[in-house]
């Protein structure tokens, strides 16, 4: 035990904070400092502006992060070996031959499984230039964030003790591992905070931001065609996201393009604008009618509600380049409809069941999203029998979530349908 502890201590000095751990990594034990004239050599013909921006950002962090080694006295003990160390003049970025030169923003919204995020990064120990190559500008971007994590700073020097370094990296899982969920419907964050979150996500290569933008509690999203929803549903007039906020954020973070408008549960807030579309509003005891307090769900069987939600979702989806769009589908409580006269009348006159009506509702939303070029995404607790039956099945991804705390969900996604074979089922 003691021996193991000592061994762990002796390794501490060389432990890196490379995250996520590269698929393959090899290191040496030679010291190497960044040249004071260190530069990025972008050897990519017609490199897009956002690649240049990413390079500038990488350069900025290299200069300014000044991350010290996590040991007592920081890098003081490394000074001696750094005195005679070789220096690294540059990092050369290239795309593999035949690769198409697209903006990172274009690459990052491709369907999962059709994005190339892999890269090969080598940092020689002998003072010759480092190289980064990839099959896409997105891969180069991933490599840049990894390059930025390799360095310690001490006494005016940015250095590593582990050259030569060689990394070949690719996401371990196509779909599931790099996903972040942000429940804005529950708590409101200023745009600047979201941008900071997005920055941190990009450093650790989280490649999907699932923006759960509405919930029972608030509807902060401004939608021109349905402006009252935010007027009546935001926590306050200052706590909304305008269309330009959304567009700016989408532009800011190429990969953050996945919005969820939860339906038909978690929609009490819509009742503040359209009371006739929501039933069992604030019904008591709430636990009979809702999975969290207080109650209120869409009367999804009514044709006018189907039309309203379909129009709302397509009008939001139209403004976003994202390949995915979530319609929620979680925590529907069917007790809510048992004594709802309007719902029961409608079911009777349409000679259908609640499940049948839910299929119609879901089909209508999803068909509209598909027409906008989206792949609809729902929570895994959406009635699976229903989804298997519905006509747009081939386009559906089912997301799977695990609750890690009250306000933060980790989401994984799977699809058992053949149209998108790259969405491999993992559960
Ligand atoms: C740094 O070097 C000094 C003197 O050689 C040594 O006593 C000390 O343990 C070293 N500290 C670390 C963290 O290696
Ligand atoms: C790029 O694509 C080629 C051919 O598909 C592949 O062999 C290579 O490993 C890929 N990755 C990089 C980083 O070039
Ligand atoms: C859900 O929304 C309703 C309507 O806005 C509100 O009265 C209720 O307090 C909300 N529930 C929670 C838990 O915030
Ligand atoms: C529906 O109404 C009946 C008759 O008033 C009542 O006994 C029952 O508890 C109600 N059920 C729900 C889920 O509201
Ligand atoms: C209602 O639907 C059921 C089951 O689909 C069917 O057997 C029945 O004939 C229908 N009734 C009317 C009046 O259409």
DSSP string, 128-162: PPEEEEESSHHHHHHHHHHHHTT-EEETTEEEEEE
Give pLDDT, residue 281.
86
Report whether residue 288 contacts ligand 1, using a CB cutoff of 6 Å: no
Query: Mean pLDDT throughout 421-425?
Result: 24
Instruction: Starting from the CA of residue 71, give the closest ligand.
Output: 1
Enumerate residues 6+ apart whose C-beta is below 8 A from 105: 50, 251, 254
Q: Is pTM beyond 0.75 here? A: no
Instruction: Starting from the CA of residue 337, give the closest ligand.
Output: 4
The minimum-distance atom of ligand 1 relative to the CA of 77 is: 1
pLDDT at 175 over 60: no
pLDDT at 131 over 90: yes
Give pLDDT, residue 417.
24
C-alpha–C-alpha distance, residues 24 and 21, integer Å: 8
Query: Mean pLDDT throughout 177-193?
Result: 63
From the list 411, 417, 422, the residue with the least C-alpha distance to 390 is 417
pLDDT in tens, 218-240: 888 899 999 999 999 888 888 88
Q: Which residues pair with 212 in a beta bridge?
A: 183, 260
Angle at 259 between CA 393 and CA 406, to 5 degrees: 100
From the list 215, 230, 366, the residue with the least C-alpha distance to 296 is 215
Ligand 5 center–CA 348 separation, angstroms: 10
Ligand 3 center–CA 342 separation, angstroms: 22
Q: Which residues pair with 379 in a beta bridge?
A: 399
Average the pLDDT over each of 134-143, 176-185, 307-316, 370-379 and give the range with the smallest value. Answer: 176-185
pLDDT at 15 over 60: no
78-103: buried (b, 16+ CB within 10 Å) or exposed (e) per residue?
Answer: beeebeebbbbbbbbbbbeeebeebb
Instruction: Starting from the CA of residue 350, give the closest ligand.
Output: 5
For the chain, list the domains and their CATH numbers.
Answer: 18-169 (3.30.379.10), 179-426 (3.20.20.80)
Enter the tokens of residue 323.
């390949």
pLDDT tier, 393 (very low <50, low <70, confident <90, very high otherwise): very low
> Among residues 117, 260, 292, 331, which one is catalytic?
331
Q: Highest mean pLDDT: which of 23-27, 179-183, 185-189, 288-292? A: 23-27
pLDDT at 6 over 80: no
pLDDT at 155 over 90: yes
Query: Mean pLDDT throughout 43-57?
Result: 95
Query: Mean pLDDT throughout 189-208?
Result: 80
pLDDT tier, 301 (very low <50, low <70, confident <90, very high otherwise): very high
Q: Kind of pairing, strands 130-134 and 86-95?
A: parallel
From the list 358, 259, 258, the residue with the least C-alpha distance to 305 is 358
The minimum-distance atom of ligand 1 relative to the CA of 73 is: 13
Residue with the nearest Cα to atom 14 of ligand 3? Answer: 217
Query: Mean pLDDT throughout 403-411?
Result: 24
107 is catalytic: no
Report whether residue 9 contacts ligand 1, using a CB cutoff of 6 Å: no
């Amino acid at each position: 035990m003691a021996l193991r502890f000592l061994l762990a201590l002796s390794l501490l000095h060389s432990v890196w904070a490379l995250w996520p751990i590269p698929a393959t990594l090899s290191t040496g034990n030679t010291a190497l400092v960044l040249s004071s004239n260190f530069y990025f050599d972008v050897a990519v013909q017609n490199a897009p502006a956002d690649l240049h921006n990413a390079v500038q950002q990488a350069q900025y962090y290299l200069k300014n992060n000044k991350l010290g080694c996590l040991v007592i006295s920081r890098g003081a003990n490394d000074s001696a070996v750094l005195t005679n160390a070789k220096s690294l003049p540059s990092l050369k970025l290239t795309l593999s031959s035949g690769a198409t030169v697209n903006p990172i923003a274009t690459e990052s919204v491709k369907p999962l499984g059709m994005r190339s995020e892999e890269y090969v990064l080598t940092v020689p120990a002998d003072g010759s230039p480092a190289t980064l190559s990839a099959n896409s500008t997105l891969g180069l971007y991933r490599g840049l964030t990894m390059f930025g994590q390799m360095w310690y700073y001490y006494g005016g020097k940015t250095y590593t003790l582990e050259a030569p370094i060689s990394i070949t990296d690719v996401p371990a899982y196509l779909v599931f591992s790099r996903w972040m969920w942000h429940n804005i419907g529950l708590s409101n964050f200023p745009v600047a905070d979201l941008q900071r979150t997005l920055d941190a996500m990009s450093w650790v290569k989280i490649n999907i931001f699932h923006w759960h933008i509405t919930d029972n509690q608030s509807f902060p999203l401004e939608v021109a065609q349905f402006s009252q929803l935010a007027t009546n549903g935001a926590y306050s007039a200052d706590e909304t996201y305008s269309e330009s906020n959304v567009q700016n954020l989408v532009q800011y973070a190429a990969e953050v393009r996945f919005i969820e408008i939860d339906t038909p549960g978690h929609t009490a807030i819509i009742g503040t604008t359209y009371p006739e579309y929501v039933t069992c509003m604030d019904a008591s005891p709430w636990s009979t009618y809702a999975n969290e307090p207080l109650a209120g769900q869409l009367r999804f069987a009514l044709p006018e509600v189907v039309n309203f939600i379909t129009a709302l979702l397509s009008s939001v989806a139209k403004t976003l380049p994202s390949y995915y769009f979530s319609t929620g589908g979680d925590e529907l409580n069917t007790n809510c409809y048992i004594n709802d006269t309007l719902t029961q009348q409608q079911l009777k006159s349409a000679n259908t069941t609640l499940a049948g009506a839910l299929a119609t509702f879901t089909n209508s939303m999803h068909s509209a999203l598909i027409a906008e070029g989206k792949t609809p995404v729902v929570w895994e607790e959406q009635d699976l029998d229903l989804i298997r039956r519905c006509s747009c099945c081939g386009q559906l991804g089912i997301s799977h979530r695990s609750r890690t705390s009250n306000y933060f969900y980790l989401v994984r996604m799977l699809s058992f349908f053949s149209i998108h074979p790259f969405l491999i089922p993992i559960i």
